[in-house]
Structure formats: C-alpha cells, structure tokens
Amino acid sequence: MEQVVRNSIGFIAFLLLALLVCWAGCQSAPPAEKPPSPTENLKPLVIQDGYQLLAGPGVVSIRKNNLPIKTIPLEEADVKLAYRLSAKPSGQAPLMDYSIDSAVVLSGSHLHYVVELKPEIRLLLKYPRSLHDEGQSIRIEKEANRLYLYADGWLLKSYKVSTGKMPWYTPEGDFRIVNKMPFPKGRDPESPMGTRWMGLAVPYSKDERGNKWDGGDDPRSPLGQKFGIHGTNDESTIGTPASGGCIRMYNRDVNELYDLVDIGTPVQIVP
C-alpha cells in the first residue's frame, strides 16, 4: 500500500513538473507577428473628382467616402503626385495618343504611372522617366523595341521600333539628332530607309560595328550618316530586333516623329 502511495505521489510530481515546463515554454515563446498589410501606413496623395488617392509601399489605394474601392500595385515603393489630367482630348499634349476624362500622373524614381479615375479606375499606362526635364528628348529601349518622345520630361508619344538584330549593332548611350532628311534614298517605295531619316552623332567609342572594310573607325558615325532613326520597306520587322543598327519605324510613325522633333534633340539608347 505504501509503495502505491509513493508511486502515485511520484506520478503527480512528474505531471506537475511537465505542466510547469510547458507553461514556461509558452510564456517565453513570442507571439506570432501579423504580416504587414500593403495598405498599412498609407499617405495621402491627392483628392480628385471625389476620389482619394493614398500611396503605400508598392501600392496606390483609391477610396471614396473613406471606403476602399481599388488597390493598384506599383513597381516602386515610393511615389508622389506629378500632375492631374482632366477633359484632355487625344492629340493634345501630354499623352497625345489618349483621350482622358480624369486621371492623375504619379512619379516614382524610375517610372511615371498614369492612374485613370474616369470612366473607370485602372492603371492606364506606365512609362520610363526621361533624363531631361526641359525641352524635347527621346528614349529608346532595345529590349522592348520601343521609342518614347518627351517634352519637358512628360511623355508625348510612344512608338514600336526595330533595333539591331545583334545586341551590339545598335549603340547604347546618350546621343543627339544632328541631321534630318526627307526621302533619304528618293521616293522609291522599296527604299530600305523608308520616308524619313534623322541621323545620330555616334562617337567612335560607341560604334562597335566599326568600318565594314577594315574594322577601324567609321568616319560616318560622328557625322550622323551611319546610325539614325528612319522608316523601312519591311514593316513586318517593327517590334523585333532586325535592323543593322539603326532604329526602324513604321513610315507613318517616322513621318510624324520627323515633324515633332528638332535637330539637337537628345536621344538616350538603353539595353
């Protein structure tokens, strides 16, 4: 009988010790942290047409009467209001290709975001920022085969183009338009240069193709006679890397661009 009592007391002591250890472990374990919501820590940006826009890390939240309506993800953690658009017809700067009822343009460190509010709430488009805040400028992205035309840092037009079929064919860097010529090879519809030419002054150090005869410096490069923005007789190549190094465009597009830009316009070409 005495042995049974001792066994019972030992079991109870063991059970109490186990409960104590378990309780201590629970007390020392930190509570699980709730993951932060992307809509936390929002900062007000603007109120337009009854909509409130607030920005958080990588998002913009659109609200009405303080009630969330839509959250749009962004590619950058921090944005600010650039300007507002209201009742803007197509053909009018900026964003000449768009008719806009109501929208705001937000600026990040690398991109601009156009958030449309009417007739529907959506991210209308995003586009890269220009390096130039004054005057005309052009940016060409080789991987996207895209040309952007800016005025005072804001997008005017965007065009599909064709860049070099090999990565090193089209030079990369900052250049300028140094000459313009209509019908560079005459009015022949089969002309590989198409209907317009805008020559880029490319220094020897940026011309990786060199002289086709001996591989040395090509005297045409810095004169704007080797690399340029021009039309084409094969518009099926537009949107693909297919050129010998120049920037090909649809003839209708190069005609328009030719009339919009001046000699001296800076041109940035990036991978």
Catalytic residues: 230, 246
Q: Which two tokens stand for residue 166?
A: 């090999």
Sign of CA dihedral 124, 129, 133, 139: negative
**Locate tokens 């921090």: which residue?**
78
Q: What are phi and psi of 120, to 5 degrees?
A: -140, 155
For 271, which DSSP code?
-
Cβ contact 250:160 at 8 Å: yes
Residue 139 CA to residue 127 CA, distance in Å, equals 11
Q: Which residues of 127-139 are buried (b: 16+ CB within 10 A; e: fewer)?
A: bbbbebeeebbbb
